[in-house]
Amino acid sequence: MPLPALKIATAQGELQIKRATTADFDVIYAMMVEAATWLRSRDISQWSFFFTEPSKDFVRNRIIGAETYLVFDPPERPVATFTLYWKDEEIWGGRGLDGTAGYIHGLAVCRRAAGRGLGHILLTTASNLIAQNSRRWARLDCMAQNEALCNYYRRAGFTDLGVADSNITGKPLRLFQRPIASR
């Protein structure tokens, strides 16, 4: 049974956040491709994988095997997505199995909703969901050469833990974490 939608009050009104199902695949995949297209227009190859056929299975598997969320700007207009994992050995190695963190992946905001602070709101929402699972850290990563995104995460309170080589992307990834506020 799906969880009820979370409601988040923002300066622009209320957002609804719900756990995605496979029925939401087309919307989520379109968001990922839109974000990849925008990144490409800025000469950032971070999500170029989403222009490939295998990325469709990747997104489907993410929806099935992790906690993917869809964010709606009333009335029921999808504007963003993010995914939480409870382990991440592929990117974080042994730390990714330590049971102390939640891992934020695939955070994307539709261009029509950009510039409203949704990224920070979703990082906070994801951190709150991680806290509900008794984890101490919110962790995420991005391509090391995407300096704008690295700086965004630093401004959002994430500590830069350095660079790790990625077998997934073949490019170095910068790792970040921030503590979860105790409850």
Per-residue pLDDT of the chain (183 residues), as tens digits, is 345 566 666 556 678 999 999 999 999 999 999 999 999 999 888 888 899 999 999 999 999 999 999 999 876 789 999 999 999 999 999 999 999 999 999 999 999 999 889 999 999 999 999 999 999 999 999 999 899 999 999 999 999 999 998 776 678 999 999 999 755
Task: Classify residue 146: in a domain, yes or no.
Answer: no
Domain encompassing residue 115: 6-139
pTM exceeds 0.85 = yes
Residue 17 has φ and ψ, to the nearest 5°, of -125, 125
Please report the sign of the dihedral spanned by the C-alpha atoms of residue 40, residue 173, residue 103, residue 91: positive
Q: How many domains is the chain built from?
A: 1
The two three-digit tokens of residue 100, written as one number: 């102390």
Burial class (CB in 10 A: 0-12, 13-18, 19+), 91: buried
The two three-digit tokens of residue 163, written as one number: 């660079």
Rg (CA), the chain: 16
Looking up tokens 């923002």 gives 10
User: What CATH number is given to the structural domain containing 91?
Assistant: 3.40.630.30
Q: What is the pLDDT of residue 2?
A: 44
Looking up tokens 């297209």 gives 37
Task: Classify residue 86: in a domain, yes or no.
Answer: yes
